[in-house]
Structures are given as structure tokens and as C-alpha cells.
Amino acid sequence: MSVIYILWLREMKRYLRSRVQIVASLGQPILYLIVLGFGLGPVFQRAGNGNYLQFVSPGVIGMTVLFSSIFSGLGLLWDRQFGFLKETLVAPVPRLQIMIGRTLGGATVAVVQGLLVTIVCVIAGFRPVHLATVPLALCFMLLIATVFAGLGVAVGSSLQDMQGFQLIMNFLVMPIYFLSGAMFPLSGQGWALKIATRIDPLSYGIDGMRSMLLGSSTFSPVTDIVVLACAGAVLLVVGAYRFSKIEI
């Protein structure tokens, strides 16, 4: 337990010490929120879909949690480059504990970032429909963070250096975000896009948050939870396996 705790604590300390990064990482969600929320808002309204800022806010929160948790897994690459990974991997501790500590730390940071963006959304004019279900939206944030922290570790353990980073960004992270329905309703698309959006685990996370914050959703909340829990379990197992195979 103490091993998991100390590695979790390390992630927290690193996060809290990187104030510039915290601010910088809020830049992108805010940009999306303002540009899309206010830019596309009138078109969305005219199409009879209601207030776009309301609609896109859960998407932007989900995006923040996605980016933050995947990057925490990719932080492995930094630790590899700067050598700290070796220090942990040569210790007389099961690798699983090391992986769990890091992943929990990354997931916690992702949820904190999500909460910060939630506050920004509220300032911009976002209002949850039911206050009672807001804590449940937090649970969905946690689930999203777990799923993608697992994916981040799996990818981070499989890459040798930072060169693959751009590749991951363009062919994994951005598609996950764009296909998740964070910015558009998941209905009325052609079959190809429909399949793609249904494969994306983030679709269910954002859908779950929408049903908790706005009271409307594409899937049922139970489906959302089941899919996210399964995806999280699979990705964590894959992540743990890949992590156990790292050579130093």
C-alpha cells in the first residue's frame, strides 16, 4: 500500500508544482468552449437543438479528462528519458504496484483538471439541469480518467521515446476526441461514422455526463457505466501487461 501511496503522492506533487502547465492545459478546453460554444451556438439553436454551450460543456470536460489521463500515462516516456523509471523498476516491489500507483495518480490529476474546467464552464454560462445528479457526473469523470489512464500506460510502455508522441496524438487521441460526440449529437450520422462513434469508449463517458448534467442522452446511463467499466478493465489489464514487459 505504501508503495502505491508514495507513487500517487509523487504524481500529485509534480502536478501541483507545475503551475504553468496547469494554466496552459486549461487553454485548449477554454478555446473549444468559447469558439464552439459561442461560434457554433447560433447555428445549433437554429437547427432546433437548443443551447450549444449547454450541450458542448460536458464534451469539453470529457476532453480535458481524456487528454490529461492519456498524457499522464505517456509521462512514462519522460520518466524513461530522465531515468526515474529505472529507479522504480529495479526496486524490490511488484511492478503491478508501481503501475497502479502511477495510474491512480494520473487519474486523480485528470479528474482535478476536469473539475477546474467544470468551473470554467459554469463561469461561461453552463448550468446543470439537476443539481442532485452532479456527483454522478463526477463518477463518470472518474471512469473516463481510469479508462484512458490505462490506455496511456499501455501506449507509454510500448513506445521507446518521444518520437511516437505526435503519431499517438494524431491517430489515437484526436480521433477518440472527435468521434466521441463531444461536439455533435450522436444521431443522424451515416453507418460508418455511427459504428466509429460506438466503438469509442469516450462516447459513453460523455453521454453519461450529459445524462447526469443535462438529463438527456443517447444511450442509457447503465449502458454507459457497463461499457466504461469493461473498457477500463481491459485497458488496465493491457496496460499492466505492457508495463510488466518494459525493458530497462
Query: Is residue 104 close enough to count as binding another protein by CB under 8 A?
Result: no
Query: Is residue 192 close enough to count as binding another protein by CB under 8 A?
Result: no
Secondary structure (3-state) at 144? helix
| CA dist., res. 63 & res. 148, Å (int) | 11
Q: Which of 39, 86, 193, 220 binds another protein (CB under 8 A)?
A: 86
Minimum distance of another protein from residue 141's CB (angstroms): 25
User: How many residues sit in the footprint of another protein (CB under 8 A)?
Assistant: 25
Q: Which of 23, 43, 87, 195 binds another protein (CB under 8 A)?
A: 87
Please say whether the beta carbons of 140 and 224 come within 8 A: yes
Please say whether the beta carbons of 232 and 143 come within 8 A: yes
| CA dist., res. 61 & res. 181, Å (int) | 13
Restricted to residues 44-73, the positions that interact with another protein (CB under 8 A) are none
x/- mask, another protein, residues 119-158, rule CB under 8 A, reads: ----------------------------------------
Query: Is residue 95 close enough to count as binding another protein by CB under 8 A?
Result: no
Phi, psi for 127 (deg, rounded to 5): -130, 120
Q: What single string gives the DSSP state of each residue in 157-194?
A: HH-SSGGGHHHHIIIIIHHHHHTTTSSS-SSS--HHHH
Query: Is residue 24 close enough to count as binding another protein by CB under 8 A?
Result: no
Minimum distance of another protein from residue 229's CB (angstroms): 31
